[in-house]
Structures are given as C-alpha cells and as structure tokens.
C-alpha cells in the first residue's frame, strides 16, 4: 500500500516512476519510460556486438508532451553523438521513431531537441523550446537515414544524417536553451501507446569536441584507437587514452599497431591490448609520419631536429634500436616505403615548396618527383611498386593523385567535393582509403586536429568513393598506412574530451 501511494504521489507531480530506474548500460547512466500511460519499454546492452537494443511504446514525441523509452546520460557542455540505427520488424505505425535526444529533464513536457528517423523514412530535427510548448520540426531533404548524429555547440544544435556510405545531410536550430546540464541519449517510440516497437543502435559514440579555447598543437583531446571493418563499416574501440595518440600502423604480422604519442613510438599488442614503448634512442621528437617496410622488419620515422630545419627522416629496426638518419635536412615527412625495400618517398620542403621526393632507404641523393605549385603530401607506393599515390592541392582543392614511381604520368583520382588527404592502398592492391575534410571547415592546404571528417574508400581502378566511417578527428587519424594484412580492416584514431569511455570493452591507459 505504501509503494502504491508513492507511485500515485509521483504521478500527481507529473513524474513517471520509471525515472527512478538507474540501471547503467554501456556508456549510459540509466533508462526508463517517459510519459504517464505507456507500455513498459526496455534497454539491453550486448557487450559482444557492442549494440544497444531498445523497446518502447507511447503515443508520440510531439505537440506539448512526449511518450517513449529513453536511454540517457547526464551531460554538461558541448557534445557530438553518433549512431547507426535500425528498426526491428515491419512495425505497426509508420511514424514509430528512433534517434538521439537531449532533454532538460525527464518529464513528458520537457524542452528538448531530437534527431529522429521515422518508420516510413521521414527524417527530421524536432524541438520544443519551452516546457509544454508545441513541438517544432525541420524536415531533412534526406529520407530513410540510418546514420544519425546530433551536435551541441552552445545553444545551437546540428543534426547530421546519412544513408550509410554517403556524406551527411545537415539541418540546424539555433537559440535553443535547454540548460547546461541535460539528459542526452537514445530513444524509441512506437507512435501507439498500446504497441511496443523495437530498434537496434550500433557504433554508439558520445564525444566532447574541442573547446574554443583549445590552442592547436599545444592543447590536445583524448584519443581512441578504433578498428574498422571496411566491408560493413562496423567499428570497435580497442583502447582509450587521455593523451594524443596518432597514426596507427598495422604491422605486417597482424599482431600489433605502431603509433606515436608525445614524440615517442609505441607498439600496441592487439591480443593483450597493451602498449609498449619502442626504443628509438635519442630520436624522441617523432611525429605522425611513420611507415613500416613491406617486409615488416624496419620502421621509418619522421622526427624533428630544429638545427636541421625541422622533421628529418630516419629508419630503425621494427623492435627498436639506434635510428639511422636518411635525409640531411628538413622539413622531411616520410610516408612510403617501396615494396623492394630500396626506396623511401617523403614530402619535403625545399625552396619554400612542398613536393614529393624519393631517397634510397640507406641514404643518398634525393630525387624530386613533383614540381607543381602548391602542397604535395602523403606519397605511398602500390604493393606492386609501379605507382605512387599522393595528395595535392595544385588545382585549388586537395585531391588524391597518382603517378608512376618515377614521377611521370601524374593524374587526379578524386574530384574535389572534399579536401582529400593521405591515400592508403590495401595490401591486396584493390582499394584505397583516405581521409576527407569538409571545405567549409578546412582550407585546402591544412589537415588540422578535431574536425568532422570522413574515411572514404574507392576501388584502385577508380569509381565513386564510399564513406566507411564518420569521425571526429583529423590530424593523426589516419596519416600513415593502417590496413590490416588481410585487407579487411583499417585502424584509425578518433578524438574526444573527457565524457567517459564510449565503449565498455575498451581499456584505458
């Protein structure tokens, strides 16, 4: 009797007793039903697949009040949240809903904003500005989205949605004050108070973007090492760090990743999921332009030496040792090693121009391979050694180019919809992965940290690039060759400020 009176008391206050549900799931703090008259919903986290399965009912998320099931995390400040979402089954009502939501509180009439996909494919940005006010909507030009991202920057909320493989379509609402601390999470509503619908959310990410006060190359966000299955786009975070980890190379035996952190090189054991410092002697100012030889025995480094003009190319045994200096002056940024092990290709600044050069891997005279005005960067050999792929902004937009290994027959590979950097050819020679920056965020000659970027893939023979990952990152995300030896996966870095681990499977150091 006492518990029943308490429940009646809560309803009289306009609260739902489900709010008391505090079961933490994955990254989220709790979940429960929003609204007074709904069939009970549920939320389950599958640690093996790293997916959240939800069920929910409710009349709608509309007008002056809402009814649905909510999986939430309390958040302060700006955020970027991402997921791939899908319904389970055909459903009853065409306006059942899945998506991301930020709410001031857990009452049904709360101010909120949500990025939502309906059962019939309608995709929209919905928002209620004040308590119990009418819900407003901005409909996206895109329908049937299955990739949903919501970002807050101050009182501006941006919805980015896509059909997986395609670039985002964006809608935005400004001057929406939900308060600094909000309830942020995934939701599911059936659009029918008597029906329970189900949905699945995969690759869930909650990130804190760089603040306006961040000074580039002085202040850094934390890093996550992710493994991406290129055929499906499935992602797995395998390691988190509050430090700036950059440019994971996949070793040729498939057992480790090699990355740089604060000037040092690390070997990350994939089985143990632990990093180990690689001894590089006195060469301790290593940047994210490093590469492994095709035979897996040697590691090429780029490390700054102020007295020599900046970054210098070095080589060292894959297990560490005393590095050998290759280039006499800088800046020299290493990106490629020929399949026969005899030649390195790097980006060098000579006479105030950045061009592609080759040099014998044991040291010797440099050979200039490009002469176009502009920035040339990211040179990498194909596995047969016949071609070098690189990026160039000689036409005004950073694009992927290719040339024969002697520098002849240079031609563009991508068109210029984005600024494309760092082409990496799969070990089987069939595909290219590269990183794409947005023109509205980045000039053609820059590849900074902490931006909205795509990882895109295309056949080596040409074709339309496909987005295989939607990432908050940039500099250090995929600067160097990062394919797995079987050409099935790619390793990369995503970034975030402190919000807690976005993957309960990941370890942290």
Please say whether the dihedral angle defined by the alpha carbons of residues 461, 462, 468 and 470, taken in this order, is positive or negative: positive
Give how far Cα 444 sits from Cα of 397, 412, 414, 416, 451, Å: 5, 15, 14, 10, 14
Within this chain, do residues 191 and 234 fall inside the same structural domain, yes or no? no
Tell me what the mean pLDDT of segment 56-71 comes to: 98
Q: What is the pLDDT of residue 355?
A: 98
Please tell me the pTM assigned to this model.
Answer: 0.94
Two tokens at 246? 């950059």
Give 72: exposed, middle or buried? Use CB within 10 Å, 0-12, 13-18, 19+: buried
DSSP string, 93-152: STT-EEEEEEESSSSTT--EEEEEEETTS-EEEEEE-STTPPPEEEE-S--S--EEEEEE
Length of the chain: 509
Residue pLDDT, tens place only, 116-146: 999 999 999 999 999 999 999 999 999 999 9
Tell me what the mean pLDDT of segment 325-344 comes to: 98
Within this chain, do residues 91 and 164 fall inside the same structural domain, yes or no? yes
How many structural domains are present in the chain? 2
Among 154, 176, 207, residue at a domain's last position: 207
Beta strands in 155-253 (DSSP E): 156-162, 169-173, 181-189, 192-207, 222-229, 235-241, 245-250
Domain contains 7: no
The candidate with the shortest Cα–Cα distance to 380, out of 391, 389, 368, is 389
The range of the structural domain enclosing residue 283 comes to 223-508
Q: Are 41 and 196 in contact (CB under 8 A)?
A: yes
Residue pLDDT, tens place only, 248-307: 999 999 999 999 999 999 999 999 999 999 999 999 999 999 999 999 999 999 999 999
Average pLDDT across the chain, whole number: 94
The candidate with the shortest Cα–Cα distance to 68, out of 112, 98, 24, is 98
The candidate with the shortest Cα–Cα distance to 58, out of 113, 115, 23, 108, is 108
Domain contains 430: yes
Q: Are 387 and 399 in contact (CB under 8 A)?
A: no
The candidate with the shortest Cα–Cα distance to 420, out of 460, 447, 394, 440, is 447
Show Cβ contacts of residue 180 under 8 Å, excluding neighbours closer than 6 positions.
Answer: 76, 77
Within this chain, do residues 313 and 410 fall inside the same structural domain, yes or no? yes
Domain contains 215: no
Residue with tokens 């009289």: 12
Within this chain, do residues 317 and 248 fall inside the same structural domain, yes or no? yes
On the question of a cis peptide bond just before residue 161, with omega within 30 degrees of 0, the verdict is no
Domain contains 177: yes
Within this chain, do residues 152 and 243 fall inside the same structural domain, yes or no? no
- Of 183-192, 222-231, 459-468, 493-502, give the lowest mean pLDDT range: 493-502
Tell me what the mean pLDDT of segment 36-65 comes to: 96
Q: Does position 509 have pLDDT exceeding 70, yes or no? A: no
Residue pLDDT, tens place only, 438-457: 999 999 999 999 999 999 99
Within this chain, do residues 241 and 350 fall inside the same structural domain, yes or no? yes
SS3 content of the chain, % helix, strand, coil (to 5): 5, 50, 45
In the DSSP assignment, the letter for residue 209 is P
291-302 residues labelled b (16+ CB within 10 A) or e (exposed): bbbbeeebbbbb
Residue with tokens 């009853």: 92
Within this chain, do residues 264 and 142 fall inside the same structural domain, yes or no? no
CA angle 33, 68, 137 (to 5 degrees): 145
Q: What is the pLDDT of residue 15?
A: 43
Q: What is the pLDDT of residue 23?
A: 79
Among 207, 237, 264, residue at a domain's last position: 207
Domain contains 397: yes
Within this chain, do residues 231 and 196 fall inside the same structural domain, yes or no? no
CB neighbours (10 Å) of residue 427?
A: 17
CATH number at residue 167: 2.60.120.200
Q: Are 193 and 39 in contact (CB under 8 A)?
A: yes
Q: Are 258 and 267 in contact (CB under 8 A)?
A: yes
Q: What is the pLDDT of residue 500?
A: 45
Rounded CA separation 478/480 (Å): 6
Two tokens at 162? 């896509």
Domain contains 216: no
Domain contains 9: no
Two tokens at 420? 């494309």
Among 207, 234, 265, residue at a domain's last position: 207
Q: Does position 53 have pLDDT exceeding 90, yes or no? A: yes
Given phi > 0 = left and psi -120 to 50 = alpha, else beta, which region is 130?
beta
Please say whether the dihedral angle defined by the alpha carbons of residues 399, 403, 405 and 406, taken in this order, is positive or negative: negative
Residue pLDDT, tens place only, 7-46: 433 433 344 444 445 678 999 999 999 998 899 999 999 9
Q: Which neighbouring-strand residues pair with 357?
A: 346, 368
Within this chain, do residues 424 and 471 fall inside the same structural domain, yes or no? yes
Rounded CA separation 484/206 (Å): 26
Within this chain, do residues 74 and 146 fall inside the same structural domain, yes or no? yes
CATH number at residue 461: 2.120.10.30
Domain contains 3: no
Rounded CA separation 129/262 (Å): 44
Within this chain, do residues 452 and 318 fall inside the same structural domain, yes or no? yes
CB neighbours (10 Å) of residue 195?
A: 15
Within this chain, do residues 167 and 276 fall inside the same structural domain, yes or no? no
Q: What is the pLDDT of residue 22?
A: 61
């Amino acid at each position: 009797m006492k518990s029943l009176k308490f429940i009646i008391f809560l309803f009289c206050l306009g609260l739902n007793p489900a709010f008391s549900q505090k079961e933490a799931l994955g990254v989220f703090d709790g979940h429960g039903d929003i609204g007074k008259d709904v069939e009970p919903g549920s939320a389950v986290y599958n640690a093996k697949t790293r997916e959240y399965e939800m069920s929910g009912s409710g009349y709608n998320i509309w007008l002056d009040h809402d009814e649905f099931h909510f999986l939430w995390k309390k958040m302060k400040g700006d955020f970027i949240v991402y997921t791939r979402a899908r319904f389970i089954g055909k459903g009853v009502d065409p306006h059942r809903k899945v998506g991301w939501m930020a709410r001031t509180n857990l009452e049904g009439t709360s101010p909120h904003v949500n990025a939502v996909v309906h059962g019939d494919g309608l995709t929209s940005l919905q928002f209620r500005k004040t308590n119990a006010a009418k819900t407003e909507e901005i409909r996206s030009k895109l329908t049937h989205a299955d990739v949903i991202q919501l970002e807050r920057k101050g009182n501006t909320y941006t919805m980015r949605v896509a059909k997986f493989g395609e670039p985002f379509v964006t809608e935005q609402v400004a001057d929406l004050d939900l308060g600094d601390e909000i309830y942020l999470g995934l939701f599911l509503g059936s659009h029918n108070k008597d029906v329970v619908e189900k949905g699945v959310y995969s690759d869930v990410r909650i990130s804190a973007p760089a603040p306006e006060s961040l000074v580039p190359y002085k202040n850094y966000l934390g890093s996550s090492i992710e493994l991406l299955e290129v055929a499906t786009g499935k992602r797995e975070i395998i390691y988190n760090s509050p430090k700036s980890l950059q440019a994971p190379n996949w070793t040729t035996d498939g057992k480790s990743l090699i990355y740089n952190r604060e000037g040092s090189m690390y070997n990350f054991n994939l089985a143990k999921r632990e990093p180990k410092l690689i001894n590089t002697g006195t060469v301790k100012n290593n940047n994210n332009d490093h590469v492994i030889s095709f035979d897996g025995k040697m590691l090429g480094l780029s490390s700054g030496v102020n007295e020599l003009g900046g970054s210098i190319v070095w080589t060292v045994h894959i297990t560490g040792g005393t590095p050998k200096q290759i280039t006499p002056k800088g800046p020299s940024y290493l990106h490629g090693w020929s399949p026969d092990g005899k030649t390195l290709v790097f980006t060098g600044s000579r006479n105030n121009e950045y061009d592609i050069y080759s040099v014998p891997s044991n040291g010797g005279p440099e050979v200039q391979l490009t002469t176009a005005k502009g920035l040339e960067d990211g040179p990498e050999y194909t596995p047969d050694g016949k071609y070098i792929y690189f990026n160039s902004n000689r036409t005004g937009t950073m694009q992927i180019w290719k040339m024969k290994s002697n520098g002849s027959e240079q031609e563009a590979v991508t068109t210029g919809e984005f600024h494309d950097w760092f082409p990496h050819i799969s070990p089987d020679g069939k595909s290219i992965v590269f990183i794409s920056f947005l023109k509205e965020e980045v000039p053609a000659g820059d590849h900074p940290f902490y931006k909205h970027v795509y990882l895109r893939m295309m056949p080596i023979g040409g074709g339309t690039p496909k987005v295989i990952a939607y990432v908050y990152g940039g500099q250090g995300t995929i600067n160097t060759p990062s394919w797995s030896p079987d050409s099935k996966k790619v390793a990369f870095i995503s970034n975030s400020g402190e919000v807690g681990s976005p993957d309960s499977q990941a370890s942290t150091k």
